[in-house]
Each structure stands twice: as structure tokens, then as C-alpha cells.
Structure 1
Amino acid sequence: MEKFNYTQFFKVEKEQENEAKEVLTQVYNALTKKGYNPINQIVGYILSGDPTYITSYDNARSKIMKIERDELLEELLNDYIKNNFKKI
């Protein structure tokens, strides 16, 4: 129980961030080209872990499965915060 009194730190290496961003871009483009709503499909994948939310077109499914879902989520959240919040 004592471990719940402390905050754990989580840090992603810079290389992983760049890789996650590149994969998300490629997957987004593949989903768009195939006529899917890329936001809905990527959210479905991140929440469920089910790779069938991602098209196999242009190897998008294989690419996204190489990145951990928490890394994808971190990249998305980081980009959202960077573009929507002012620094104090």
C-alpha cells in the first residue's frame, strides 16, 4: 500500500516519439486513401488493441503494431497539448 503514496515517472525516448509520429502519419494517410475516417479507426485501435481497425493497405496495420499503444497515445496527447495550451 505504501507505494501508492508516490508518483511514478514515465519517460519516452526521443527516437520513439519520432517513430510514433511517423507511423501515425503513414497510418492516417493509408486510412484516408482507403476511405476510412482515420480518427475513428485509430481511436478504436488504441482503445481496443484490435489491429483490424487499421487497414492493411500500404502495410499500415503492420507498422502500427510495431509501436506500443501507450507510445501512440503519448504522441497524440503531446501534440495536442503543444498546439492547444499556452505555456505559463
Structure 2
Amino acid sequence: MNQGTVKFDFSNEYPNQTREIILKVYEALTEKGYNPINQIVGYIMSGDPTYITSHNNARSLISRVERDEILEELLRYYLER
């Protein structure tokens, strides 16, 4: 049995697109009076799109990217700051 580390690599070809989508979703959630951090975390953890408002097409936008791509972008942004 192999006990080595598994390498996870799924190159996100459009990191700027992912970032833009996160920001637009954040803005839409804020405009509707939701706590955007809680809602986005709920979506990432569950995969349930109803955590994201349909206001300004936010639910449709976030569905364009995989949840692991969202996590990668958030982690990259956090660690680079």
C-alpha cells in the first residue's frame, strides 16, 4: 500500500474569472442584506445553490465555476496577502 502524499492538481485556467465571480456574488449577497461570508461558506460546504441569491444573476454565475476552484482562489488570495 502506498503511503506517499497524493498530489492534487487541477489547473484553474481562468483564475481571474473565478475571482470576478466571487466578487459579483459577494456584492449581490450584500445588496440583498445577507452575510456574504456565511452564505458563500454554506454554498462551498454543501454545494446547495440556494445559499446564493438569484439577485443580479449571482446563483447562475457561481454555478459556472467548481467549488474547488472557488476554494483555490480564496486560499491563493489569502496566502498572497
Does the pair score TM above 0.5?
A: yes
Q: How many residues align?
A: 81
Amino acid across the alignment from 1:10: D
Deviating above 3 A after TM superposition, structure 1's stretches of 4 or more consecutive aligned residues are: none
Q: Which amino acid counterpart does residue 82 of structure 1 have in structure 2? A: E
Unaligned runs of 5+ in 2: none
Letter matched to residue 6 of structure 2: T
Q: Which residue of 1 aligns with 2:9?
A: 10
Structure having the higher helix fraction is 1
Aligned-pair identity in percent equals 58
Q: Is the 8 A contact 1:16 1:71 kept in 2?
A: no
* Structure 1 spans left out of the alignment, 5+ residues: 84-88
Taking structure 2 as the reference length, the TM-score comes to 0.91
Name the Cα RMSD after superposition. Answer: 1.3
Taking the aligned partners of 1:26 and 1:12, their CA distance within structure 2 comes to: 22
Structure of larger gyration radius: 1
